[in-house]
Amino acid sequence: MKDKYMLKTAEAVKIYETVKDLPIIDYHCHLSPKEIYEDKPFENIAEMWLAGDHYKWRLMRTAGIDEYYITGGASWREKFLSYAKALEYAAGNPLYHWSHMELSQFFGIDDTLTAENANKIYDRANEYIKKNNLSPRMLIKQSGVEALCTTDDITDSLEFHRKLSAEDYEVKVLPSFRTDNLLLILRQGYAEYIAKLSEVSGTEISDLASLKAAVEKRLEFFVSNGCKFTDVGIPFFPAGAAGEADADRTFKAALKGKEISGADYSAFIGNMYLFLAGLYKRRGLVMQLHLAVYRNANSTLFESLGADCGVDCVGDPISGTALIKMLDAINKKSGMPDTVIYTLNPSCAEQIASVAGAFPNVRCGAAWWFCDHKRGIRQEMEIIAENASLGAFLGMLTDSRSFLSYARHDYFRRILSDMLGDWVTAGEYDREAAYKLAEKIAYKNIKELAGV
């Protein structure tokens, strides 16, 4: 999986040569700033691969692996062998590509992983980890990462971001302002969450006005610690926005645990979206919207393992009309902040691309999650090219909890180079422009937008 891997034409190879060694700006990930700060060497490859990677957990479940060998009490070796068994026949799954790219790039192992040789590869990888003292920072440096943006709840202390900044760590580790828990007012424990927000913001929260004052204080704190990006990824999108009085009533009812209608809930979210977008616009932050996701589909696993255990799914298509109305309301009220829209449901992609073209500062995001495979990545870029400006695309992000996931940037750069190579070979695009375009997408656009 080196050299000409995934590069079908001579033009693709040449384009890839211009981007393969560019630095990485990972503008949306789920890495732990605590783990980066502490920089503890890893114990074994199974822990690195399987401790929290719900992509791999899903593959193992669909391959018929018992949960004991996925999230249960099996040893790391047993879990690794079980993953190898699942991976061997996962043809077409991006994990097949990513896992082998990671073995090659980070462990120097170019053998195909199978159930038969899994024991030997497990031992070879662990020997390499021990010999080279592999740790989070070493992997980040080896991957050529220039900056990364973690995903942080608005109540987070940002303790480890501040510690990394204080020691002048060479890679910028920046927080992102994630508002999911703020908006999920029907979730059990919401009143306790607001109590925590009240405490960390130094604001007594009793109504909508004080809630917004607390949120603004937290945003100022995040900005003071280098925040450039915001994010939301809840399973709902508002059909409209409530006025202040109605949103206030809904919020007070949520604090008291009272029943709230779906319409009132949606309208409250709409009110908060307008408010948050205004804050982001004034502070020059990028607003990321992750749409069309269904969370925690398997309630039994969710109750036993908690969130992010591999049971989230592609959600129903969102209403394009609702998206248009929300963006229009934001644009009218505060002006549009730089906005990136992702969809987990690919059936929405072309509509979102057309909507993005109707407003300033709005771009389509990278192929997200269940779409970030070879076909999905290329399809998303082709949709952007056909409906918008591919030259404004921000390129790849890991969206991952694994320090090995930077192999995905090479995966993306190969797919990008192959697509542009096809167009150049067919006479559909200029060769020199393709080199420049590849560099913009792989690095320069996000470098400029993030300002890092």
CATH number assigned to the domain comprising residue 76: 1.10.2020.10
- From first CA to last CA, the distance across the chain in angstroms is 31
| Alpha carbon distance 324, 374 (integer Å) | 29
pLDDT of residue 399: 94
- Inside any domain, residue 247: yes
- Inside any domain, residue 32: no
185 and 127, same domain (yes or no): no
- Inside any domain, residue 254: yes
Name residue 25's beta-bridge partners: 147
User: 420: helix, coil or strand?
Assistant: helix
Amino acid at 226: G
197 and 250, same domain (yes or no): yes
Cα 157-159-165 angle, rounded to 5 deg: 130
Residue 318: phi and psi, rounded to 5, are: -80, 165
| Alpha carbon distance 73, 201 (integer Å) | 40
Residue 405: phi and psi, rounded to 5, are: -75, -5
pLDDT tens per residue across span 48-60: 999 988 899 999 9
- Inside any domain, residue 12: no
Helices (H), 27-93: 33-38, 45-50, 54-62, 76-88
187 and 255, same domain (yes or no): yes
pLDDT of residue 259: 95
pLDDT tens per residue across span 274-284: 999 999 999 99
> Contact, 363 vs 341, CB < 8 A?
yes
> Contact, 42 vs 134, CB < 8 A?
yes
Domain-terminating residue out of 79, 113, 134: 134
> Contact, 421 vs 15, CB < 8 A?
yes
Helices (H), 341-441: 349-356, 374-387, 407-425, 431-439
pLDDT of residue 305: 87
Give me the sign of the Cα torsion angle 40, 44, 48, 51: negative
pLDDT of residue 91: 97
- Inside any domain, residue 379: no
Residue 137 CB neighbours (<10 A): 19
pLDDT of residue 308: 81
- Inside any domain, residue 216: yes
Question: Which token pair is 135?
Answer: 């740790």
Domain boundaries, position 101: 43-134
Domain-terminating residue out of 134, 167, 196: 134
> Contact, 225 vs 165, CB < 8 A?
yes
User: 343: helix, coil or strand?
Assistant: strand
269 and 199, same domain (yes or no): yes
Q: Mean pLDDT in the chain?
A: 97
Residue 45 CB neighbours (<10 A): 27
119 and 185, same domain (yes or no): no
190 and 112, same domain (yes or no): no
| Alpha carbon distance 243, 204 (integer Å) | 22
- Inside any domain, residue 327: no
Flag whether the pTM goes above 0.85: yes
pLDDT of residue 52: 86
Low-confidence ranges of the chain (pLDDT < 70): 1
Domain-terminating residue out of 217, 246, 276: 276
pLDDT of residue 1: 64
Of 292, 271, 295, 176, residue with least CA distance to 228: 176
- Inside any domain, residue 201: yes
Q: Which residues contact 90 (CB under 8 A, 6 or more apart)?
A: 59, 63, 96
Residue 112: phi and psi, rounded to 5, are: -75, 130
Domain count, the chain: 2
Of 451, 395, 449, residue with least CA distance to 287: 449
